[in-house]
Amino acid sequence: MANKESFFQRLFGSLIGGKDADAAKKKKLKSIAKELSKTRFKFYKAGSDQALPLLGKFFYELYKALSNCQTLFNSQQNPAYYKNVVIANGLSENQKKLVETLSEEAIKEMAKSGDFAQVKEKVKADIAAFSAEFDQAKIQMIDGLYHKLLLFKSFCTFDFYFILKKFDSTLRENDFSKSPKFNPIDASYIAEDLKDFLAVLYALPLGEDFTDLLQLMKTMRGGNEPIKSGQWAKIASRLMQIKTSRVFEMIIQLTTKDPLYEVSVEQKFEQIVEDYIEKTKTEAQTTLNKLENALKNSKTDTLLNQIFGTTGITSLQNYTDEQSAYFVKKNLGGFEFTKPLNYLKAFLLEYVKREVREYADLVLIRGKWTTTPLSAEMSDAYNSLFEYSEKITAFDKKLSEEDGEVGLKLKTLLPRADRDKEAASIIKTTLKDNNNLAKEYIVGATKMLIVFGKNTKLLIEDYQKQRPELMTNWKELDRFAETPIKDLGVNVYKKIYLVVQLMQSLIGGGQG
């Protein structure tokens, strides 16, 4: 009805204006005063436009009854706390146990005593079990309780004391040891305060059951009730009467001389469960990623020491982490395979051109094979390794900012990337193309190492036979070898095996 009156009042005012409009306004205000006088709440005296002591008493009783709730809410300002406490309240016993197993500490502890692959599967299963218990009913229950808690918090933390000081200037905050003495005051003095109060009051779902909320607050207060359910029920009943009678709205209309005033309430319903589930998953996955990277780095360092005797390997000048950093800072991507390509190039330079060449010269040039296909396969793989070494050198040189075709292009485009979308797009595409090429070289060279290593293993086994089947002149080759050919072959095979392991571990899912 209020909306219709407002519409017609506005329409009436726009049509007649002047004295007639003033008269209509006064008539409406007079009608509101008459309606207010018929209510049971004697909070306001229309003739003198005064807020009466009974209004101060009303707010004082609320202030006193809600003081423990107000203290509880004011002691905790972190919004995340309320989300966590509501969600924790809604978890089943099984979910609480699962949350503990998904914590960073628990996952790290599992990783110490178990196979990491099994740990990953266990975490994955626990996440699935944890998420599965959040059916639609539970999600609505938790989100609904959180919404109600926020509304109740806004109501309880309303500044009652600020209003009450206007009725009794001697009143002390949170001091209920003696009864205050309230005096009539000019109602316009508290008109804005009443508007603020109605905003939090009208947002409260007074018709709902508050048992779950009061129990939650008891938990938040360490088992002590900030307000008893019977006491809140009486307060809620009176507040509903205030709301239904529209007594405060009428007081505001009269004291502000605005018969069109209506309470404006804005509410936002925040859904917290989905974010919580995602956060739990993300944190568990982040912990797994950290552990996996640590294991990977540890394995990488071990392999590097076994292959090169050091972890400080540098063989490329341009396809490096340092050069990549310039692009990463601008969110353009970067060089993704710097480490494996760097290690591979170092191995091709330092080992393939020495030990592997020494072994290859013996078995491929001086060796007398009984089967041509195997020797051809091993020879092709060996020659391919040198080709890959040259390709990687040329690839790295092209990325030089001084005289490299690709490097100069990237250097020219980079300063424009912040303001020029086309320049940024070209850089991203160029980086992607070069990363694909780097990966192609790593994968291709690794395949050739596998082929050469497989044939080396066959030759080692053949050497140990009483009657060799692949090579007919092992004794002759032994005389030419500076290192016993069997030992040389074993060393070559071991190093190739370690490098293949290194490449596979780094290239499996890209490179961090």
User: Phi and psi of 169, rounded to 5°?
Assistant: -70, -15
β-pair type (50-51, 44-45) = antiparallel
Residue 464: other Cβ atoms inside 10 A: 10
pTM of the complete model: 0.68
Max CA separation in the chain (angstroms): 127
pLDDT at 14: 55
pLDDT at 511: 43
Q: Is 450 helix (H, G, I), strand (E, B) or coil?
A: helix
Q: Which residues lie across from 248 on neighbouring strands? A: none
By the 8 A CB rule, do 41 and 33 touch? no
Q: Is 405 helix (H, G, I), strand (E, B) or coil?
A: helix
pLDDT at 3: 46
Look up residue 115 and give its amino acid: D
Please report how many Cα atoms fall inside a 13 Å half-sphere around the Cα of residue 168, on the Cβ side: 19
DSSP string across 314-351: ---SSSSHHHHHHHHHTTS---S-HHHHHHHHHHIIII
pLDDT at 21: 80
Residues 277, 127: Cα–Cα separation, whole Å: 9
Residues 218, 232: Cα–Cα separation, whole Å: 13
Report the candidate in 316, 309, 287, 227 with the shortest Cα–Cα distance to residue 106: 287
DSSP string across 106-168: HHHHHHHHS-HHHHHHHHHHHHHHHHHT--HHHHHHHHHHHHHHHHHHHHHTS-HHHHHHHH-
Which run of H or of E encompasses 507? helix 485-507
Residues 67, 132: Cα–Cα separation, whole Å: 40
Which run of H or of E encompasses 50? strand 50-51
Residues 389, 308: Cα–Cα separation, whole Å: 17
Tens-of-pLDDT digits for all 512 residues of the chain?
444 455 555 555 555 555 678 888 899 999 999 999 999 999 999 989 999 999 999 999 999 999 999 999 999 889 899 999 999 999 999 999 999 999 999 999 898 877 888 999 999 999 999 999 999 999 999 999 999 999 999 999 999 999 999 999 999 998 898 889 999 999 999 999 999 999 999 999 999 999 999 999 999 998 899 999 999 999 999 999 999 999 999 999 999 999 999 998 887 889 999 999 999 999 999 999 999 888 888 899 999 999 999 999 989 999 999 999 999 999 999 999 999 999 999 999 989 999 999 999 999 999 999 988 989 999 999 999 999 999 999 999 999 999 999 999 999 999 998 899 999 999 999 999 999 999 999 999 999 999 999 999 999 999 999 999 999 999 999 998 888 999 999 999 999 999 999 999 898 644 43
Report the candidate in 294, 404, 313, 403 with the shortest Cα–Cα distance to residue 351: 313
Q: How far is CA 304 from CA 238, 314, 360, 454, in A?
A: 77, 12, 24, 21
Q: Which residues lie across from 185 on neighbouring strands? A: 51
User: Phi and psi of 45, rounded to 5°?
Assistant: -115, 110
pLDDT at 508: 67
User: Phi and psi of 418, rounded to 5°?
Assistant: -65, -35
By the 8 A CB rule, do 221 and 76 touch? no
Q: Which residues lie across from 50 on neighbouring strands? A: 45, 186
